[in-house]
Amino acid sequence: MSKQLTLEKEIEDNDLRITTSAPGKVILFGEHAVVYGEPALSTAISLRVFNEVSITSRPFECENPYLREIISLYGIYVNTRTWGDLPVASGLGSSAAYSVSTIAGIEYIHTKRLDLMKIARNGFEVEYNAQGRASPNDTSVATLGGYVILSRSIHSGFMWRIEKGNIFWNIHKMKLTPLKIVIVYTGKPSKTGEMVALVKSLYEKYENVRAAIKRIGEIVLEAVDLIKSNDLDSIGKKMRENHELLRKIGVSNSELDNIVKVLSRYCYGAKITGAGGGGSVIGLLREGASKRILEAFRGSGYTLYFVETGMEGVTVEGFDS
């Protein structure tokens, strides 16, 4: 489908229809530390949500909590038909990709352009209201694509600031070299709320946990430089160090550690991605390792995804003919 297709196309029933897409994400470095104001580095992956968005004049009962929030935010009735290769409920940002691609469709129908800042802000509001809590990480990556840094301080690539109550996040976009990543999804949902609460209690008690959080923040910025120079060995080393620190702050377990250990045989480095306690592990792939990794995890019941990073953010795919 062409991006050039014109907007002025109404189909028979007068619904306006548009197809958009948005990427999923992985957190490469900095999960949990970001809760304490340290930076986190995430990237858009080559798994996407595609979304046919239509604005309709016919009212309907909406069961999807994200779409319900979008309908209430815009005060219009919206239908979506969604497909793609991004799995749901696996910590890869599928709800953010859905919300952002829906909002982008509505915005484009109204204004014939994509105002990324508005889409990212509205996407965050929708996630926040639908989930009861959220950081703007996933919706920022789904909107901007590439590599995204969230931090309290301002670095190069600063885009905008998002605030909620008395918390704020500075959002940065960086164009860095694409990496080849394997994601091993355990099938067990990552326990974000529980893990954040656990780290909080340890953070308040133990100096070494506070030091680990601080060190994770440093690793994020060191990793950005290493990705810039495509130093895969050193990026892998930082992943291993970041994983050790995540263990120290209590969010790993023997199952996740074992996945990291297996991946480390075939990858430059591996670590938990996201909250931990379940969810997924990522590895930075060595050339030609995919087959052996598939072999190593055969029969494990885990789902493996081989992805590229730094992919395009939300985009208009075109209109249905």
Contacts to ligand PMV by CB under 6 A: 27, 31-32, 34-35, 91, 135, 137, 190, 192, 196, 274-275, 279
Q: Single out the residue of 47, 222, 35, 226 nearest to residue 141, CA to CA.
A: 47
Distance CA 130, CA 73 (A): 12
Among 292, 313, 321, 316, smallest CA distance to 141 is for 313
Min dist CB 43 to ligand PMV, Å, is 12
Handedness of CA 112, 115, 121, 123 (dihedral sign): positive
In whole angstroms, how close is the CB of 235 to ligand PMV at the nearest point? 20
* CB-nearer residue toward ligand PMV: 105 or 279: 279
CB of 304: closest distance to ligand PMV in angstroms? Answer: 18
Among candidates 284, 307, 256, which has minimal Cα distance to 24? 307
* Residue 77: other Cβ atoms inside 10 A: 16
In this structure, what token pair is assigned to residue 125?
């509001």
Nearest approach in angstroms of CB 191 to ligand PMV is 9
* Shortest Å, Cβ 245 to ligand PMV: 13
> Which residue's CB is nearer to ligand PMV, number 39 or number 105?
39
Integer angstrom CA distances of residue 198 from 165, 178, 253 = 23, 33, 13
Which is nearer to ligand PMV, 19 or 151 (by Cβ)?
A: 151
**Between 39 and 274, whose beta carbon lies closer to ligand PMV?**
274
Query: CA-CA distance, 285 to 287, in Å (whole number)?
Result: 6
* β-bridge mates for residue 41, sequence order: 29, 149
Task: Write down the least CB distance from residue 1 to ligand PMV, Å.
Answer: 30
CB of 32 to ligand PMV, least distance (A): 5
Residues marked as catalytic:
138
115: left (phi over 0), alpha (psi -120 to 50) or beta: beta
Instruction: Compare residues 116 and 213 and give the one whose CB is closer to ligand PMV.
Output: 213
7 or 221: CB nearest ligand PMV: 221
Closest CB to ligand PMV among 131 and 300? Answer: 131
Q: Assign 146 to helix, strand or coil.
A: coil
Amino acid 185 reads Y
Residue nearest to ligand PMV (CB): 274
DSSP letter string, 193-241: HHHHHHHHHHHHH-HHHHHHHHHHHHHHHHHHHHHHTT-HHHHHHHHHH
C-alpha 267: how far from its chain's center? Answer: 22
How is residue 168 annotated by DSSP? E
